[in-house]
Chains A and B, each alone.
Chain A
Amino acid sequence: MPMIWWLRKLIQSPTGLIGFIIILTVIFSSVFAPFIVPFDPNQADRPNRLRPPGTPGHIFGTDQQGRDLFSRVLFGSRISIFVGLVTVIIAGTIGTVVGLFSGYFGHWLDSVIMRLVDVWLSFPFILLALIINAILGMGLRNVVITLIITGWVIFARLVRGEVLALKNRDYILAAKALGQSELKIIFFHILPNVFTPIIIISSLQISQIIIAEATISFLGFGVQPPTAAWGNMLSDGRNFLFNAWWMATFPGLALAFTALGLNLFGDWLRDTLDPKITK
């Protein structure tokens, strides 16, 4: 489908367009953060601590160490976007491969993998993530690993379901009759046909992952201060609720804004790519 077709579809949908613009804004500000921000996000400025929004030079105010909140929020978007993208790409790839094999070969392999998925899904997502993070240790890299370990199952289950519906289609049977290898059938004939649901679920999963990272960091695990991440900024903000409302407000707004954009765009993508699904 040509680019122009996509653009026309996008303009026809106000919510999809809003989502797309939000995502572009967040990506733009995260990529160009070092050029936009007025201050070093980690530069403490004690005399100017807890200044309210609108203070000259500090549009969002400053935090308990006098650091510029606007700069920190902007730099925080880098962590969120990085974690969201990297996690979904790796977890999506692992889940897809597992789902393809599980669905295609079936039998004991499928039973074993699906029981594993059941067990995984019987723990609340966020709790499992907290435990794995506590075992692995804190820090950005370990948050990504944690979210990959918890996130792949969604993809595996989705892809497996799609493969089950596809594997007895005539064109697959024809490919088998022609003597093509199993691997070739899986990756050249089945995989291209499960791409659409993978893309749709990925776009919706990114916002889940970003919120999960913020939640983990908020609870004291994950990305640690002084690195500016929305989750640990909110954790700081909560401790200063009585004297600095802005510290908890702006990072959260940025987080909700990003999640909203991703969800709107994901919904639009689903409606556009898969007309069978009604909203």
Chain B
Amino acid sequence: MQRYLIKRIFQMLIVVFLALTAVFFMQFLAGDPVILLLPMDATYEEIAEMRQRLGFEDSIFVQYFRFVSRALRGDFGQSLRHPQTAVQLVFSRIPATLELALIAVVVSLLVAIPIGVLSAAFRGSWFDQIAIVITVFGQAVPGFWLGIMLILFFAVTLEWLPTGGRGELNNLILPIITLTAFYAARFARMTRSTVLDVLNTDYIRTARAKGLTERRILYKHALRNASISIITLLGLQLGQLLGGAVVTETVFYWPGLGRLLVQSLLNRDFPVVFTGVFFIAVVHASLNLVVDLVYLLVDPRISYD
């Protein structure tokens, strides 16, 4: 167990390191920001002097080494558009994104798991049919368009809710519905198919033969085994949920990390973009590790020794 843990942490560090390297190359390919830092009428000499001073004239290896050693100290440079450092800017936006993402995940699970389990338990029933249609729609409707339609209906036409922003409970409702619609659809389908697979196994047949009630079979046996796939999917989705936040935050003017990244990309404020991206990669890798460890708790058959 301990050896496995060390191995997994080591693997995670490799992925984080590779992500850092990928970020460096993206930054390298994006070009130097000197043009953005200087006034429009800067002379060629001024540009060359600035490039020299910021180290863009050094070889790629020197630049890479400097980048990594700074990153290890948590220094990702200065924002090109704001007075703060990139790290300060990114961290100031994280609470807003976490608030949105966590509530959306919890709501999605609360909606999706009962739907998925009931759908599987009553396969072919009208409930199942309706659930399938709704989940297929939920996956087909693009998140940003759903967001716009919700604004059109609840904010513009009915004037019940604000069109965007953050601060009050009212502001949360539409973004949460937008994020939940897509993720709940995915979780529900996943739960349904996993529970169906489990219900077809021999030990469920044995449990039925023993005369256990359907309810007991479903909750005691099927759901417990289905939970592994659901945890995996959840772990993978949490990273992508931050991607969903990019779009949802932009639509609802939600002052989170996603919106910051889109604005910074449009402004070509690359230090902020890459800090944010690196942060997301680290969160993603850590979540994968947590998911692996949660397996151990949920499924006694899995052992990593």
Contacts and interface: CB of A to CB of B under 8 A. Distances in A.
Given A130-B246, A215-B142, A234 B148 contact: yes
Interface stretch (A45-53, A97-105, A118-126): A118-126
Contact of A122 (B139, B163, B273, B285): B285
B273 A131 contact: yes
The DSSP consensus for interface residues of chain B is helix
Contact size range, A = 35 or more
Interface of A: 15, 115-116, 118-119, 122-127, 130-132, 134-135, 207, 211, 214-215, 218-221, 234, 237-238, 241-242, 245, 248-249, 252, 255-256, 259-260, 263-264, 267, 278-279
Contacts of B193: 278-279
Nearest to A212: B142
Interface of B: 14-15, 18-19, 22, 26, 29-30, 132, 136-137, 139-145, 148-149, 151-152, 156-157, 163, 189, 192-193, 196-197, 200, 239-240, 242-244, 246-247, 250-251, 258, 261-262, 265-266, 268, 273, 277, 280-281, 284-285, 288
B268 A134 contact: yes
Contacts, number: 133
A126 B243 contact: yes
A264 B243 contact: no
A127 B148 contact: no
The 6 closest A-B pairs by CB, nearest first: A124-B243, A252-B145, A260-B140, A259-B140, A122-B284, A119-B18
A264 B149 contact: no
A17 B261 CA distance: 41
Contacts of B243: 124-127
Contacts of B246: 124, 126-127, 130, 219
A238 B250 CA distance: 11
Contact of B152 (A115, A116, A248): A248
Contacts of B284: 122-124
Contacts of B151: 241
A115 B18 contact: yes
Nearest to A218: B144
A278 B123 CA distance: 12
A50 B148 CA distance: 18
Contact of A220 (B145, B157, B258, B266): B266
